[in-house]
Structure 1
Amino acid sequence: MTGIRVIEWREPPLLGRAERLNSLMKPGYVPFYIRARRWLISALERGERFDIVHQPVPVAMRYPSPAAKLGLPLIIGPVGGGLSTPAGFAADEASSPWFMKLRHLDRMRLRWDPLLRASFQSADCVLGIASYVREQLAGVPLQRFEVMSETGLDGIPAPIDRSARPNPVKLIYVGRLVRTKGARDIIRSMNLIRDLPVELDIVGEGPERSECERLIAELHLGDRVRLHGWRRKEELPELYRKADIFVFPSYREPGGNVALEAMAFSLPLIVVDRGGPGSAVSSGCAIKLQVTTPDALAIDIAAAIRKLTVDQDLRNRMGAAAYAHVGQTALWSAKLDRMDAIYADLINASQRAGAL
């Protein structure tokens, strides 16, 4: 690529040592903000011209933009996160690291932090990774808001015909094994549908693995539930192809990338209607569940699995609808075209305003 200039600054030493803490709080963002803002102001004073500023990261809505209120058309996002834990699940997350509780400050900062509020208020366009982001920013007057996922697909494989598949019906979960993603709720649901010819493959690794293993043993589900652990990206397509239904009841999932992957393999989905997955799918390709308590969620997952297991025609229709939906909404080529249109709108509006 030509015509590109990259300006970068090294992260101060020691700030990235604690990976999870650094991922959540990003202490290196403070020096970045100061340096980037100074550089932009200096560049403008030197007479440099910028048609537009786009700040795509960090995704979390807790970082002010160094380009805010500099008189330049500004796009922030895609941003997301800030979802709270449903009250009925709070007890299950009591063992989370102390610093994870700092995310509860996000809403307070969106209400009171002048730098953060000014960033979103002054932005010419805010991109949200899912529709729930608009609700998260309801207390901030926005000039323009668009929904655009932070992830996409370069391409999708050929559609998969599962109409002649024999039993058992194979369920698949793909994701980290952490409480919020709901793997243990799927396992508990399997205990409620022992009369059905279904098997569950759980692909992923994480701190919830021991709890999943305990539940599988306690409920005597070892012949119907398999823990595959972490798998390389190259191994996932074959696992998706062998599956019949994708089950991902994450109740605090900001984005929807895993749902996009499943839809690309013509899989009907069972997701929680909250956060990214609920926004990434349509009712034609997914059963969307409400979430209140762990017991209720396990019962609802079981009912959704039963509905899709006993009705193969419904599974086939929803799988085809999932494939069509992801092709229309998730390809990078379409997203780039849409981004170009947003750039053009904002640049033209800025030029018209400057001509007045």
Structure 2
Amino acid sequence: MQCNYEETKKMVRNRIRVLISAYACEPNKGSEPGVGWNWALQMAKLNEVYVITRSNNRKIIEKFLQEHPVEHLHFYYYDCATWKRKMKKLPNGIFVYYKMWQKEILPIARKIVEDEKIDIVHHITFNEFRTPGKLYQLPVPFIWGPIGGGQFYNSIFKEAYFSRKDVYKEKLRNFINRSYLMFSHDIKAAVKKANTILIADQSTERIMPKSRKYVRLLETGYDLNRNKVKAYDENLTINPKRPIKLLWVGGIWPRKGLKVLIDALYNSQFENYSLSIVGDGQDRKASEKLVREYGLDKKIRFLGALSYDEVNNLYDSADVFVFTSLRDTSGNVVLEAMSHGLPVITINHHGVGEIVTDETGIRIDPISYDSVKSDFVKAIKEYAKNPELMKQHGLSGRQRLETYYSWVNNAKVLQTIYDEIKRNTSFN
């Protein structure tokens, strides 16, 4: 598809009327709420956008829109009965509730389609392949995605988890994913009905039915106006008085793999580094305890959850960003690091294995747990002895972000799809 974005701007008066399903949708948030919000915000620039989201999101959305009015963006809010909402507190209850929510918004969506003369229905969040919702049943063109969640637990990372229970959870998730692919009526129906299915990463595309074609598009993006590239020290030399500064940012949860990096640094003979860890979560206490047991507490700092400005300053002062996630569709923090011009060391799998290239960082093949630990240290040493390579990879990362992963670029790609569907529908 060729994107004639300027021509679309000229036709802005003939706006395509789009109904977006975004269960998770909140301004100034990361993860799925930020994904839902940013897609709606971007697409409202050239289209008339109607969003169905949770009533729970209403207060924060309306407060934002009062302070920052957005034209052509309309919201409908819905939540299930109180007793159903309480189910979210149960194990995996949020997905049970989500399925009920999707079923109950169908008649609401049907009325919006009729009243607002909707041209396209687009399901955005949740973006897991297991949860396409029910809006594919509506009598208008349907878009699903970008979807992800097709990553499977890799047994070589068994030692990367603090608890056997977390390993069992990952294995159970593998089983559930396979079961959904085999038996889910909604997945099969959505695959058959959707005019376009957008897929965010290679792992998810690999498991989806081969009976149709898919469009690759990252589920998230980056606002290039948020920050500039860090200032580089042209005379930087890594030595005992100036160790290489490593940065790790994210939720300290089992699947984020922080233990991999801690184990790697402990098993190495390399000591000329400092590591700042930003974030909080289930595994923080266990990680801090492990660092103390390894005797690394003078080199590794746990900073907890920090403000946006504080994290920004850390990106600018760091030399290298380390991303250890064992299972992720993409990784917003990787885009943040690239925006500041930081090279990225990561495992070569899932979405990040495509976001980071050999020109923007160092990717580690997941062959065995020992090899991964060893290769993380080798990558750190490579940057420590070659600061110019850090700069080259960092600047290339920012350029790659600007070319492929900005919200503006993502919106152009999606607008092309909207335009093509609208043209085909009008022609037919």
Pairs within 5 Å for 1:146-185: 146-160=216-230, 161-166=232-237, 167-185=242-260
Q: CA deviation at 1:222?
A: 1.9
Relative distance call for 1:132 and 1:153 in structure 2 (3 A) is: farther
Q: CA deviation at 1:164?
A: 2.8
String of CA shifts for 1:57-86, please: whole Å, max 9, x gaps.
111111233221434211111211131111
Relative distance call for 1:48 and 1:259 in structure 2 (3 A) is: closer
Residue of structure 2 aligned with 1:107, choices 178, 189, 203: 178
- Unaligned runs of at least 5 residues, structure 1: none
String of CA shifts for 1:173-206, please: whole Å, max 9, x gaps.
0011123222111112222444452111111112
Distance in 1 (CA, whole Å) between partners of 2:201 and 2:93 is 20
Partner of 1:315: 390
Range moving further from structure 2, 108-117 or 151-160: 151-160
Residue of structure 1 aligned with 2:106, choices 20, 37, 40: 37
2:285 aligns to what SS in structure 1?
Answer: helix
Relative distance call for 1:47 and 1:196 in structure 2 (3 A) is: closer
Partner of 1:231: 306
1:172 aligns to what SS in structure 2?
Answer: strand
Q: What RMSD over aligned residues (CA atoms) do the two structures have, in Å?
A: 2.6
- In structure 1, give the amino acid aligned to 2:142: L
Q: CA deviation at 1:269?
A: 0.5
- In structure 2, give the amino acid aligned to 1:216: V
Distance in 1 (CA, whole Å) between partners of 2:370 and 2:261 is 11
- In structure 2, give the amino acid aligned to 1:284: E
Distance in 2 (CA, whole Å) between partners of 1:48 and 1:171 is 52
Relative distance call for 1:74 and 1:162 in structure 2 (3 A) is: farther
**1:129 and 2:129 equivalent?**
no
- In structure 2, give the amino acid aligned to 1:31: M
Answer yes or no: is the 8 Å Cα contact 1:110–1:140 preserved in 2.
no
- Unaligned runs of at least 5 residues, structure 2: 1-69
- In structure 1, give the amino acid aligned to 2:225: G
Pairs within 5 Å for 1:173-252: 173-252=248-327
Residue of structure 2 aligned with 1:49, choices 117, 139, 148: 117
Pairs within 5 Å for 1:331-342: 331-342=406-417
Paired residue total: 351
String of CA shifts for 1:196-225, please: whole Å, max 9, x gaps.
521111111122223322322222212211
Answer yes or no: is the 8 Å Cα contact 1:196–1:306 preserved in 2.
no
Partner of 2:343: 268
Distance in 2 (CA, whole Å) between partners of 1:196 and 1:31 is 53
Relative distance call for 1:98 and 1:196 in structure 2 (3 A) is: closer
Distance in 2 (CA, whole Å) between partners of 1:18 and 1:227 is 34
- In structure 2, give the amino acid aligned to 1:213: E
Partner of 1:85: 153
Q: CA deviation at 1:154?
A: 4.7
Answer yes or no: is the 8 Å Cα contact 2:348–2:363 preserved in 1.
yes
Distance in 2 (CA, whole Å) between partners of 1:200 and 1:24 is 37
**1:26 and 2:131 equivalent?**
no
- In structure 2, give the amino acid aligned to 1:60: E
Distance in 2 (CA, whole Å) between partners of 1:317 and 1:105 is 42
1:266 aligns to what SS in structure 2?
Answer: coil
Answer yes or no: is the 8 Å Cα contact 1:128–1:147 preserved in 2.
yes
Range moving further from structure 2, 79-88 or 158-167: 158-167
TM-score (norm 2): 0.75
Q: CA deviation at 1:27?
A: 2.1
Relative distance call for 1:183 and 1:29 in structure 2 (3 A) is: closer
2:397 aligns to what SS in structure 1?
Answer: helix
Q: CA deviation at 1:23?
A: 6.8
- In structure 2, give the amino acid aligned to 1:76: W
1:250 aligns to what SS in structure 2?
Answer: coil
Distance in 2 (CA, whole Å) between partners of 1:122 and 1:216 is 51
1:221 aligns to what SS in structure 2?
Answer: coil
Please identify runs of 4+ aligned residues in structure 1 that moved more than 6 A: 97-100
Relative distance call for 1:267 and 1:73 in structure 2 (3 A) is: same
**1:12 and 2:81 equivalent?**
yes
- In structure 1, give the amino acid aligned to 2:217: V
Q: CA deviation at 1:304?
A: 1.1
- Identical pairs, percent: 22
- In structure 2, give the amino acid aligned to 1:50: I
Distance in 1 (CA, whole Å) between partners of 2:91 and 2:197 is 25
Answer yes or no: is the 8 Å Cα contact 1:86–1:292 preserved in 2.
no
